Structure 1
């Protein structure tokens, strides 16, 4: 009987690898997630920090990086060869050893070579992750410095600012630059790290390269055992602070509710009465504001509240500021162009 050729062995290995794809891919691409019948992950060969353009089919083994036209292949052997920067025969031998297929007559030298390659790959991955983290921290530091400079340059926000009038709010701690740009401070562990700018027409953006996740804009003084509200936007937080007198931290978006709530719980302990004040995105599929608020409350053993809409309230209202404006008769006025 003829001995299988290297190409035949590679093909056989690829078929076995596909049946074990859901075991192998998390090992090769540990920061990925399953989305439907695809494994989506950062491209470690390029040093990606976030998932996006790189995906692997769990049904066919085909893989592709839309951000790199040269990065694609038809099976998991070619994928491992790409990730390890080695020949497909060597990649097939590694899979053979991992799955104990016995397709190759692996010598002691083969086993040692495979071990050395895995070690080298892991060292390169760790070094790349460290470099990426260092670059990110440098960007964060630069943005924090820029935020401090802008905050010092700015003047206290005008009470008659167009955005504040539209929201029916006082400026509180906000500051203002030229052209009516409001500055909302974002803090981390009590330190200013970023700014959100708000234009008179309500346009919002953060400083480029700055921290957002886990950061918050505070309103009021937080003390031991107090009630603390965690909400999304600054206008919602200012509304809650005005109407309850309690301190508030604004997470700035739904996805940041949980990280901020966890940071508050860790910093102030179990005596803090934590309340997640969620948005009620009734017109958005899946109501992401309500879902995120419930997740944050569950993760931090917090209470959760949502706007209590009176009968006949328009469904495009979603947060506590919308409710405040509606109840005070200012809502329609605030929505005029």
Structure 2
């Protein structure tokens, strides 16, 4: 039998790892939790302050950090390699030892295994794409159902009061969770849930990349802001009166900005209102905002921090809250 290649062995380990994802992911990302068919956690590599943008599919092993365009992969071997800063071979060998698979010998030698043909690979990838499209369609239908049964959000909702913003176009379920609409080409395709403590999650299996939450209407020649979170967008909309689209995270800014440029052309003055993650390595908010501005031929602005502003503040809503509370104290 033909000796398998290293990529084939890595792929085999990834298949076994996926079957035990419920065991491995809590070990690798212990601060995470299961949300539907995803494991959602902080990205420990870039020092996330909170969970929300980093998720791993329990069905396919695909993982993605929507706040970092470079952080994504198709299986659990690539995930472990990313988390421990190693090559995929080293990660596959670590999983092999952890699960006692015996795929790699004591010296790293490979055992003979059946190969996946090119045709089989193409069929598998086509099936995965079809499954993903079907999940996206099913989630869009569920999002529309929940949106229709919800009522307009209560201005006294704890999250809205904590952020000092109006409910705008949000809705609220009977249990108290806020619904943030996520659109694609003007159509509702997903929802973000926000509970009274500010915890957020998307409908599991729904589309996130390229989606946005709109505030206000784009009419004629106007200025259009693109930002990360919804509360930041609500703050910008209230203070400027301009329409805003919220990309929900840094990694989605470029996709949304380019979509807005393609949709509205030169009729809008496109402005990226970036987060300033001053305490995070590499300042992912600024990095993503600058990249989005270049790709979409847009302007970019950041909060202007007074000299005594705390370093943990990072976005326009943070600045608004700090200035408001400081004013009230005096």
TM over 0.5: yes
Partner residue, 2:305: 309
> Tell me, which stretches of 5 or more residues in structure 1 are unaligned?
1-5, 18-23, 30-45, 87-119
1:51 aligned partner: 74
In structure 1, the residue matched to 2:216 is 220
Residue of structure 2 equivalent to 1:267: 263
Q: Specify the structure having the higher radius of gyration (Cα).
A: 1
- Look up the match of 2:51: none
Q: How does 1:158-169 map to 2 (within 5 A)?
A: 158-169=154-165
* Inter-CA distance 331–198: structure 2 relative to 1 (3 Å threshold): farther
Partner of 1:319: 315
* Aligned equivalent of 1:102: none
- Equivalent residue, structure 2, for 1:105: none
| CA apart distance, 1:282 | 1.3
Per-residue CA deviation, residues 221-266 of structure 1 (Å, 9 max, x unaligned), is 1235421111110000000111111111101111111111122122
Looking at structure 1, the residues matched to 187 and 88 of structure 2 have their Cα atoms a distance apart, in angstroms, of: 48
The alpha-carbon distance between structure 1 residues 170 and 70, as it changes in their structure 2 partners (threshold 3 A), is same
Distance 1:72 1:255, change over 3 A: farther
* Kept after mapping to 2: 8 A contact 1:53/1:66: no
Distance 2:327 2:193 in 1: 23
The alignment partner of 2:117 has SS state of helix
Residue aligned with 2:278, SS: coil
Q: Match of 2:46?
A: none
The 5-angstrom pairing of residues 253-292 of structure 1 reads 253-292=249-288
What is the DSSP-based 3-state SS (H/G/I as helix, E as strand, rest coil) of the residue aligned with 2:198?
Answer: coil
Tell whether 2:226 aligns with 1:243: no
Specify whether residues 166 and 130 from structure 1 end up closer, same or farther in structure 2 by C-alpha distance, changes over 3 A only: same
Q: Deviations over 1:184-234 (max 9, x none)?
A: 000011111111111111111111111111101000112354211111100
Q: Note the residue ranges of structure 2 that are not aligned, 5 or more in a row.
A: 12-58, 63-72
Residues 59, 218 of structure 1: alpha-carbon distance in 2 compared, 3 angstrom cutoff: closer
Q: Which deviations, in whole Å up to 9, do the C-alpha atoms of 1:292-312 show, x marking residues without a partner? A: 111111111111111001120
Closer, same or farther: CA 175–60 of 1 in aligned 2, 3 Å:
closer
Provide the TM-score with structure 2 as the length reference. 0.69
Over 3 Å counting, the alpha-carbon distance change for 1:226 and 1:122 in structure 2 is farther
Aligned counterpart in structure 2 of residue 139 of structure 1, from 128, 135, 144: 135
Instruction: Point out which structure has higher relative CO (alpha carbons under 8 A, 6+ apart).
Output: 2
For 2:89 and 2:127, the matched residues in 1 are separated by 34
How has the CA–CA distance of structure 1 residues 174 and 62 changed in structure 2, closer, same or farther, with 3 Å as cutoff? closer
Contact 1:65–1:71 (CA under 8 A) maintained in structure 2: no
Q: Distance in 2 between matches of 1:283 and 1:332?
A: 27
Q: Which of 117, 121, 129 is residue 125 of structure 1 equivalent to?
A: 121
CA contact (8 A) 2:77 2:88 kept: no
Question: Residues 190 and 59 from structure 1, CA distance in 2 versus in 1: closer, same or farther, beyond 3 angstroms?
Answer: closer
For 1:162-181, list aligned pairs within 5 A: 162-181=158-177
Contact kept, 8 Å, 1:47 with 1:129, in 2: the verdict is no
CA deviation map 1:55-109 (0-9, x unaligned) = 5977988954838754744799959x75xx34xxxxxxxxxxxxxxxxxxxxxxx
Mapped to 2, the partners of 1:300 and 1:311 lie a distance apart of 32
TM-score (norm 1): 0.68
Structure 2 equivalent of residue 66 of structure 1 = 95
Residue 331 of structure 1: CA displacement?
A: 9.1
Q: Does 1:229 align with 2:225?
A: yes
* DSSP 3-state at the match of 2:257: helix
* Residue 150 to residue 59, structure 1, CA distance change in 2 (3 Å): closer
Q: Distance in 2 between matches of 1:302 and 1:137?
A: 31
